Structure 1
Amino acid sequence: MQKQEEDEFAISNTPGYKLGAKKTVDELANLDAEDESLARWKASLGIVPGAAAADSSGPKVTVLTLELRSPTLPPGKRLAMDVQNASVAKDPFVIKEGVEYNVRITFKVNHSIISGVRYVQVVKRAGIRVDKLEQMLGSYGPQPNPYTKDFDPEESPSGMLARSGSYSVRSRVVDDDGEVYADWEWSFKLAKEWA
């Protein structure tokens, strides 16, 4: 069973893409120093020569919130989960059927540069996988302010069958090297109206 779960979270790879060797921030800062556009890109990730090394204790990435956003939500209504809160799996979100929504993830990069970071989610109903979403988040450098990424809009399922029962979701934030930064479970139900 463990092997099957890991297979469900296998990230898709681009044919011909090869991961580069791991380098320290100082090695990256001094690499191709004469290339101005590369220097600007590296500076946007916090890679500058002689930068003080950040405290590398604790997780590289902390996922703060996962939010479902929809123009059909009643005014003042917000569907956001604190990923650090253990009760997200027990208290299902109620999502209106047949509406357009999108997912927003907010996370903080604490130290080190992260590259090829993806959000992967597997949705199951009655133990059977019904959907898998894989969204590229990108590459980021450490900074005190959190990053926010909005996913492409989707439409929630509709109909009596979709409304019967609840859906369990397992979400992960992982990089190209397979390092898992966050792994949590949550659930939702579909209804005729927002709850």
Structure 2
Amino acid sequence: MDDHKEKEKEHTGGNPDVPEEEEEDEEAKRAVLLGPQVPLKEQLELDKDDESLRRWKEQLLGQVDTQNLGETAEPEVKVLNLTILSPDRPDLVLPIPFVADDKGYAFALKDGSTYSFRFEFIVSNNIVSGLKYTNTVWKTGVRVENQKMMLGTFSPQAEPYTYAGEEETTPAGMFARGSYSAKLKFVDDDGKVYLEMSYYFEIRKDWPTFQ
């Protein structure tokens, strides 16, 4: 598994919609054109008499139960949850899709606080290549963050994978507080989208008492 390969943040102003669409168009143009996908079970049967290739496949696949592989060529990724970790608070586990509170917020953070995100996800059917996520954040219609993280290539397995992000600090001060909108997206090298979710969160002066 390739971890923490790419992280990019942008702080820009202007219309939040146009830049993002242009970026997605550029990514599509740069996408590598690969051959048709083959079910993993069929891949394992190819060149099975080649000892070096067999060892390489075993190393790549790890603990995959090859007896229970299906005939589906398309990989599937299911993002199970997002956990917010902060030294000042108990871990907050949010199932995906998020469930908003009565104000429409998926969660709230304290301004000037240290936090990190942790995702759990399951890969099934086939190997997923170049899985990455993007998280774009806007405040009052202005894009304030565009985070991209390459997670890597993953083989299917019954147990969930865990990805822990780097520690960050929320902006501080009166002008940093308030409502934020965001869009979270998980996509692979082929451009297949496994999760695309819009949500709202809040930055407050203090941690909410209900979290």
- TM-score (normalised: structure 2): 0.73
Instruction: Indicate how the Cα distance of structure 1 residues 136 and 59 shifts in structure 2: closer, same or farther if over 3 A, else same.
Output: same
Tell which deviates more after alignment, 176-185 or 83-92: 83-92
Report if aligned partners of 1:28, 1:47 keep a CA contact under 8 Å in 2: no
User: How many pairs does the alignment contain?
Assistant: 187
C-alpha spacing 1:186/1:8, structure 2 compared with 1 (3 Å): farther
Q: Greater shift after overlay, 86-95 or 139-148?
A: 86-95
Q: 1:71-117: per-residue Cα shift (whole Å, max 9, x none)?
A: 121xxx33232113454792341101112211111111132110100
After TM superposition, list the pairs within 5 Å mapping 1:1-195 onto structure 2.
5-7=20-22, 20-24=34-38, 25=40, 26-27=42-43, 30=46, 33-35=51-53, 38-44=56-62, 46=64, 51-54=67-70, 56=72, 60-73=76-89, 77-85=90-98, 87=100, 90-163=104-177, 165-195=178-208
TM-aligned CA distance change 1:143 to 1:194, over 3 Å:
same
Cα distance between partner residues in 2 of 1:12 and 1:114: 18
Residues 57 and 132 of structure 1: CA distance in aligned 2, closer, same or farther (over 3 Å): same
Residue 78 of structure 1 aligns to a residue whose secondary structure is strand
Identity of aligned residues (%): 30
CA distance in 2, matches of 1:68, 1:161: 23
Preserved contact between residue 32 and residue 189 of structure 2 (Cα < 8 Å): no
- Normalising by structure 1, we get a TM-score of 0.78
After TM superposition, the runs of 4+ consecutive aligned structure 1 residues lying more than 6 A away are 10-13
- Structure 2 stretches lacking a partner, 5+ long: 1-15
- Quickly say closer, same or farther: Cα 1:22–1:29, change in 2 above 3 A: farther
Task: Tell me, in whole angstroms, the C-alpha distance in 1 between the residues paired with 2:46 and 2:152.
Answer: 22
Report the Cα distance in structure 2 between the residues aligned to 1:27 and 1:81, rounded to whole angstroms.
36
Q: Assess, with a 3 A threshold, how the Cα gap between structure 1 residues 56 and 188 changes in structure 2: closer, same or farther.
A: same
Question: What is the rounded CA distance, in whole Å, between the counterparts of 2:92 and 2:25 in structure 1?
Answer: 28
What is the aligned-residue RMSD (CA, Å)? 3.4
**Distance (Å, rounded) in 2 between the aligned partners of 1:112 and 1:152:** 28
Task: Give the aligned residue type for 2:93.
Answer: A
| Contact 1:29–1:42 under 8 Å retained in 2 | no
* Greater relative contact order (Cα < 8 A, sep 6+): 2
